[in-house]
Amino acid sequence: MNAILLDGVTLRLGGRIVLDRISLEIADAEFVGVLGPNGAGKTTLMRAILGLLPLAAGRIAVHGQPVRRGNRLIGYMPQVRATTALRLSGHAFVAAAVEGDRWGLPRLDRAGRLAVDEALELVGARALARRPMVELSGGERQRLLLAQSLLGRPRLLLLDEPLISLDPHRQGEVVRLVRRLQRELGIAVLFSAHELNPLLGALDRVLYLGGGRASLGSVDEVITAPVLSRLYGAPIEVVRAGGRIFVMSGGQDMERDAHRHDHAGTRAGFGA
């Protein structure tokens, strides 16, 4: 059975169509990188799969079931992440997400404690459990966020920009960790990112969004001048060098530019 099925899905936000009649299927143990410029709809798509957004048209199924809020089959790492929990220990931070309550501090029963320990173990963060979040590096915090998303043994992980603000070395560690978990647990992962290169070698397929449309396939099928020119609505060149791939427009690296805008805290309009 598919992990995700989209059938003619249209998503509209603030009167604007973000994704237009998208149909695709993602297998139940597949690592899919979700790429596309700022505003392409990566976060919106994840929110729709979580049942947080009404569909303007079409249908989405997760493991054969219609989308619904609070679906325990899905683990989610949102793009906007809270920093208010910095005084908590790593263990308390993960525990705060048990029962879907990210902010309260529940008194965990034995099953809850076991679930937290299991999630910490999966991401190799047992040693971080007692330390306060404020002391941890970005990569270590990212591991705890990943542990949160693994609580309840989801069959599908939606990870929205887990690489943001990590240096290339930490980015590589996060990608390898997610790939290992995805394989060991036999689950599906949607992993959004601004740059393809950190994901090369880990992903099974890439889902590229742009201009309301989507293209899903292998890197060789999707990361091509014709496909990306259609999604960007502008002439795109794809340059391969040193095992890396660059998506260029008029001599500018589109993915790097998107990344820089993100760090600056501004949002580039689509195609800007």
260's contact among Mg ion, ligand ATP, none, with CB below 5 to 8 A by partner kind, is none
Cα(224)–Cα(30) distance, integer angstroms: 22
Q: Helical H runs in the chain?
A: 42-49, 90-95, 110-122, 138-150, 168-185, 219-222, 225-232, 254-264
Can residue 54 be called a binding residue for ligand ATP (CB under 6 A)? no
| Closest separation in Å from C-beta 80 to Mg ion | 9
Look up residue 170 and give its amino acid.
R
Site pattern 30..69 for Mg ion (x: CB under 5 A) = ------------xx--------------------------
Interface region with Mg ion, contact rule CB under 5 A, candidates 13-21, 28-36, 57-65, 79-87: 79-87
Q: Does 215 bind ligand ATP (CB under 6 A)?
A: no
Q: Which is nearer to Mg ion, 136 or 199 (CB)?
A: 199
Helices (H), 50-125: 90-95, 110-122
87 versus 267: smaller Cβ distance to Mg ion: 267
Stretch that binds Mg ion, among 65-73, 74-82, 131-139, 223-231 (CB under 5 A): 74-82
Report the residue from 79, 224, 229, 249 that binds Mg ion according to the rule CB under 5 A.
Answer: 79
- Measured CA to CA, the distance from residue 8 to residue 22 in angstroms comes to 5
Smallest separation, CB 14 to ligand ATP (Å): 3
Contacts with 32 (C-beta within 8 Å, 6 or more apart), sequence order? 26, 188, 189, 190, 191, 203, 204, 205, 206, 207, 216
Name which of ligand ATP, Mg ion, none residue 13 binds, using a CB cut-off of 5 to 8 Å depending on partner kind.
ligand ATP
Token couple for 21: 């009649």
Distance CA 14, CA 204 (A): 33
Nearer to ligand ATP, 245 or 268 (CB): 268
Taking the least distance from each CB to ligand ATP, the nearer of 34 and 129 is: 34
Give the DSSP letter string of 199-224.
Answer: GTTT-SEEEEEETTEEEEE-HHHHSS
What does the binding site for Mg ion look like in residue numbers (CB under 5 A)? 42-43, 79
What does the binding site for ligand ATP look like in residue numbers (CB under 6 A)? 13-14, 18, 36, 38-44, 79, 267
